[in-house]
Amino acid sequence: MKLRRPKTVLTCPQCGSADLYYEAALITGYKYHCKKCNYIGAFVVEKDVEDAGR
């Protein structure tokens, strides 16, 4: 059975990379950490990935 649900990937708002860590921060809760540009923050861009299996 196939579900036609679009996959999403989280990307960095600064450099567009999908290499993000999800980090727990003690006071502020959760944050993302970009491997490439070292962006740290709670805001990330969610992108649709249509043809993931190609």
What does the binding site for Zn ion look like in residue numbers (CB under 5 A)?
A: 12, 14-15, 17, 34, 36-37, 39
Q: Which residue has the tokens 């708002």?
A: 13
Which has the closest alpha carbon to 20: 30, 8, 11, 29?
A: 11
Is 46 or 51 the residue whose CB approaches Zn ion more closely? 46
Is 19 or 51 the residue whose CB approaches Zn ion more closely? 19
* Cβ 33 to Zn ion shortest distance, Å: 9
**Strands annotated E in the chain:** 7-11, 20-25, 29-34, 40-41, 45-49
Is 2 or 43 the residue whose CB approaches Zn ion more closely? 43
